[in-house]
Amino acid sequence: MHQFRRGSYAKVKSTYSERLKTNVAIKIINRKRAPPDCFEKFLPRELDILASLNHRNIVYMIMELGVQGDLLEFIKFRGALPEDFTRKLFKQLSLAIKFTHALDVVYRDLKCENLLLDQDFNLKVADFGFARRIKYDEDGQMILSKTFCGSGVPYNPKVYDVWSMGVILFPMMTPISRRC
C-alpha cells in the first residue's frame, strides 16, 4: 500500500482491488489520535450519509482513488487554472453539492483539501466527516445543529456550503493566491 494523504487522525492509502480491478483508497483511522466521539458519532454519521449518496462527483466509502491528488496541491503546483478547466471543476462541485442539498445533506467542511481529482481530472468531493442531515421539527422548521461548524450564526447550513464554494473558486482563478 502507498500512503496518499494524511489528516490529523487518519491517513489514506492506495492499493489495488482485485475484485474491482482498479486502484482504490483506504481510509485508516488512528484510534489513539481520533477524538473520543469519532467512533460513536462522526464515523457512523459519515457512513450513513455516504451510503445514501450515489453521484459521480462524490467518492464512495470503498473510495475511488484521487490519483491527481487534492485541489489544494494541484493549485499549489499549477497556479491559477485555465478558465475552461475551472468552469468544468466548479460545475462538477456545484452538481455534487446541489445533489447533497436536494437530499437535505449539508457538507459543512468544503475546502480544496477535500476535493480530489481522478485520473481524468474530474472533481470528487471526499471526506464527509462533518456532513449531517438537516432535521426538521413537526412544523417543518429546520432544527439548527448543536455541533459547532462555522461562525455559529443561525443560518441555513446550505448557505455555508455555497459560500465555501465561492471561497474555493477564488484561488482556482487567481495567480497570486496559492491557498484555499
Give me 44's grid cell.
457512523
Active-site choice (48, 70, 84, 109)? 109
Active site residue 127: no
20 SS3 class: coil
Alpha-carbon distance of 53 to 75, in angstroms, equals 27
- Residue 162's contacts (CB-CB under 8 Å, 6 or more residues apart) are 97
Neighbours of 153 (CB within 10 A): 7
DSSP state of 154: -
Catalytic residue numbers read 109
